[in-house]
Every structure is written in C-alpha cells, then in structure tokens.
Structure 1
Amino acid sequence: MTLADGIWQQIFSFENYGELLALVRNSLIAGAALGLVGGLAGVFVIMRDLPFAVHGISELSFAGASAALLLGVDIVAGSIAGSLVAAGAIGILGARARDRNSAIGILMPFGLGLGVLFLALYKGRAANKFGLLTGQIVAVDTPQTKWLLGTSALVLVVLAVIWRPLAFASADPDVAEARGVPVRGLSFAFMLVLGLTVALSVQVVGALLVLTLVVTPAAAAARVTASPVLLPLLSVAFAVVSIEGGILLALGSSIPISPYVTTISFTVYVVCRLVGGRRSRRRGAGRSTPQPA
C-alpha cells in the first residue's frame, strides 16, 4: 500500500459503514437541529455584520467547555454558560460597532487563555481536549442530545418572536428606532441568542471553526438571493447539508468532523458566489444593451 492509499483510507473508509451508521442516530438528529438554528441566526449575523462577534463568543464558549471538562460537569452546559457571558458582555460594552469590536478583541485572548489553562490542568483523555477545538458530534450521547435539542428549541422560539422587528432593526436601525422599535433591546436579545447558537455550534465543529456553521451558509445564501423568505430557507438548507454531510463522511474515517463540515460549507459558498457573479454580469449586460427606438 502506498502512502497516498493510506492517507486516502484515513479520509474515506467505508468498511462496516452500515453498522457504524446506527451509532450516530443522536448525532444526525442534533445536527439537523443545529443546522436549523445556525442557518437562521446566521442571516442576522450577515445583516448586522457580526462575524467577528461569533468568533469572540466562541473563545469564551471554549473556555466554559474546558472548565466543565476539568470540573467533570456537563460540557454543553459549560459551553452555553461561557457563550452567554461573552454575548452579554459584548451586548453591554459594544453598543456601537467600533466599541463592539474593541470589546471582542479584549475578550477573545482572555477566553482563549482561560481555555488553554483549563485544558492544561485537565489530566483526562487527550481526545476530549482535541474535541473541544475540532468538534466531536459523532460521539454525542443522549444527555447531550437533550441539551442540544432543548436549547435549539429555545433559540427557535425567541427568533420566531423577534424575527420581524429584528429584521427591520437590522436593515435600517435609525428608521426602526424612530418608529418605536426597541433597537437596543433587540440587539441585546439577539446577542444572547447568538451566544446560545455559538455554544451549540461549538459542539459540531469546535471553537476554532465555528464560523463555518454560523456565517458561511448565510453568506452563501446571500450571494444568490435577497428574498426575505428564500434567504433564511437557503441558509438553513446549506447549514444542514454541511453538518449532516460532515457527520456521514467523518463516520467512515479517523479524521475529526470539522474538516468535512468546513469543506462542504466552503464548496457551497464558492458555487453560490460563482452563480451570483454570473447573474450579476447578465443583469449588467442586459441594462447596457441599447433598446430599439
């Protein structure tokens, strides 16, 4: 066997795949829920220009999960606690974009440093440490699934309640505030929702690559449509395809799930960007064509 063959079998190996597939039922269910949550929240992340905030929250989510791992408590609960602390701090300290980015720049290294400290103190399995950075949804158990599904349901309920005023405030905050929409309150509420979403996403792709689940699907959808109905639908579809495809591919290999999820998500974005660019060129050519007298 050549080196290339060995590497290929590590990446794609489908021996006993049918038997292994039965072991990831919880993972597939949780993945679908997380794709729904990440796809919907990502729409507002793009509208409100918050990708940097997503990354900042993920660092404290990582710190919370690391602390939970060290203390022997539920990792999902620790991740959620860290995310909510970060989201609340960003929401309070960063009312304006400039202040928000400064607050995030301060919180990110602090959260990452805490996470590294907790992992250094943890004497358990190295795979558990690695999973916090790169994701480990293939190993999701029943208690974790309940946490994930329950938190996902809460996020979906809150998004359903605030969707219309939040969309208005995101598109034109000045006009929305003039018409009595509680722009600041909605902004803070969405930061908390985003914190929960990031905490859930960390369970899939880890703290380092969470942007691929919360940002990339919505950014891809925005490249092909501006419809307020079609945009969230496509964003959810792209997120679910990325997660479920990543789980199914990772199941047949010894590679962590995150490279598969990120590759699928990035491929979808590239395709959407090419399609969107072609449409833009066609519209531009149509407008430049002289009309007959």
Structure 2
Amino acid sequence: MELLIHPFYQRALAAALIIGFSNGFFSGFVVLRRNALSVSALSHTMLPGIAAGILVTGMLTQASAFVGALFAALMVGLGSVAVARGNRIAQGTALAVIYTTAFAAGVAILPRLDTRQELEHWLFGDIMAVGNADLWIAFGIGSLTLLVANLLMRPLLVTMFEPNVAAAQGVPVRFIQYLLFALLVLSLVASLQAVGCVLSVGMLVAPGATISLLTDKTPALFWGGGLLGAAGAVGGVLLSATLGLAPGPVIVMLLGSLFLAAWIFSPRYGLIAGWKK
C-alpha cells in the first residue's frame, strides 16, 4: 500500500485499468472470430517494427518504438487482408507468409543495432515506466477502439459471421475487414508498454476466452471481457509488488489462471460439469 503514494505506481495502475479494459473488450472479437493465432502473429510483428524504427532514427525512444511497431503491425495485418481479397490465398496463409518475412527482416536488422539489450524492455514490457504521454496514448487508443466498436457493433458482427449477408444489406464488407484488423493492431500496440510485444497477445485473448466459458450472451462477452481484463491487469500490478516480480508477466499469468479456473469450474462448459453429464 505504501507504493500508492508514488506517481509512477499510480500511472502504472491507471495504465493497467485503461489497457486492461479496452483490450479485454476487444478480445470478444478475437474469440468470436477465432483468430487468436493471427493476434499472436501480429504481436511478434511489432519486434521487427521496433528494430526498423531504431534503424531509421538511430536511437531507441518511446516514439521510435511506438511508431515502428504500429507501422509494422498495420502493414502486415492490412497486407494480409489485401492479399486474401481473391479466393486463391486464405488470409491466414497470407498472414503467415508476410509475418514471417517481416520477422526475418527484423532478425536480420538486430545485429546492426547498438541497443539490443534495451529491446528486452519492449519484448516483455515495463508498466512501471509508463509516463504521462504513454497514458494519454493508451487512453486515446482505448477510447477510439471502444467508440468505433460500439458504434459499428452490428456491421462488425455481421461481417465476421456472414459477409455475403452483410454485403447484401449494404455493409461495406472490405472496409469493415480492414477496420477490424486496424483496431486489432491499435489494441496490440496500446499494450506494448505494459506487457511488451511477446505477452500482449495474452491481454487480447484471455479475457474474452474466459468469459466465453461463463456465458452465451454476446454483450456480456464484450463488457465482461473488459471488466475481467481491467481487474486482471490491476490485480497483476498489485500482486507483482507483493511477489517482487515484473508486472507484465504477472498480469498475463493471472489472466491465464482465471481462464484455467473458468475451464475447470464453469457451470455449463467446465471440465467438472462435463464429468457430471
């Protein structure tokens, strides 16, 4: 509790609350679309983006890392959607090829950088180092994601499940697909400072997956995921101080533990409930 008087700890808790809720909310789309592997691929794409940002600017800063990660993830994510416009190549296949190519480019660049040791900070995150500018970025991205997702909830869901029906109803299907991937990339980049590019996928999958084991209601999947994501992120920061561990891994481990608990004890879909049938 003594840590609460320190501004850096207050900023860490605020960042955990904002990022945890916005990413937890968006995890509903990830779970419904069943594209968790795509999220994992995009999260790893941020590393070569950071490396490219260092190569261009000559230094590792918050701005170069953020812009590089955002650019790389957007290019890979939206590029896979563009390649899959025809029926010949599936989007998952296109994403796998483009993402591995981008990752290989990042690995090739790394030996030329003088800041390889500092990259660990971006691989696994350091929420205790969040500044005021980082908070505003997280708040802006979270607000944009929540606003767009709620305003366009129906066309987003119809496009995900029945793109032909959506097109017949006048929904701009291609634009919605690009928009969904863009929001996914923004959510990933928002969690970069908190848990890093390696663990960011956990905050975008675990909350929605956990809630999906507890309810069949779509609104509860989104808002419940947001609440669970916020609680897990804040709880992870608080727990990390007690355990003396880095906050990022603790946040993801806590969310993973909640998922396992739901998988075991869920009244309808849990492991124990399956044994009783």
- Alignment TM-score, normalising by the size of structure 1: 0.81
Q: Which moved more, 1:233-242 or 1:189-198?
A: 233-242
1:118 and 1:285 map into 2 onto residues whose CA distance is 52
Q: Which runs of 4+ in 1 moved over 6 A?
A: 281-286
Task: Indicate the residue corresponding to 1:100 in structure 2.
Answer: 91
1:165 to 152, 155, 173: 155
Structure 1 gap segments, 5+ residues each: 1-15, 289-293
Q: Which moved more, 1:190-199 or 1:97-106?
A: 97-106
1:231 and 1:78 map into 2 onto residues whose CA distance is 32
- Which amino acid counterpart does residue 32 of structure 1 have in structure 2? L
CA deviation vs aligned residue, 1:128-171 (integer Å, no higher than 9, x gap): 31111111111111222222222222222222222121122223
Structure 2 gap segments, 5+ residues each: none
Task: Indicate the residue corresponding to 1:25 in structure 2.
Answer: 10
CA deviation vs aligned residue, 1:190-224 (integer Å, no higher than 9, x gap): 11111111111232222222221001110111111
* C-alpha RMSD of the superposition: 2.8
2:113 to 106, 111, 122: 122
Q: Larger radius of gyration, structure 1 or 2?
A: 1
Task: Indicate the residue corresponding to 2:259 in structure 1.
Answer: 269
1:254 and 1:285 map into 2 onto residues whose CA distance is 38
Task: Indicate the residue corresponding to 2:124 in structure 1.
Answer: 134
Quote the offset at 1:97 in angstroms. Answer: 10
Q: Determine helix, strand or coil for the equivalent of 2:213.
A: helix
2:206 and 2:122 map into 1 onto residues whose CA distance is 20
2:26 and 2:88 map into 1 onto residues whose CA distance is 19
Task: Indicate the residue corresponding to 2:103 in structure 1.
Answer: 112
1:76 to 60, 66, 72: 66
1:65 and 1:280 map into 2 onto residues whose CA distance is 40
- Conserved? CA contact 1:76–1:144, under 8 Å: no
Q: Determine helix, strand or coil for the equivalent of 2:198.
A: coil
Task: Indicate the residue corresponding to 1:63 in structure 2.
Answer: 48
- Conserved? CA contact 2:84–2:94, under 8 Å: yes
- Which amino acid counterpart does residue 107 of structure 2 have in structure 1? V
1:196 to 170, 175, 186: 186
- Which amino acid counterpart does residue 108 of structure 1 have in structure 2? Y
Quote the offset at 1:284 in angstroms. Answer: 8.8
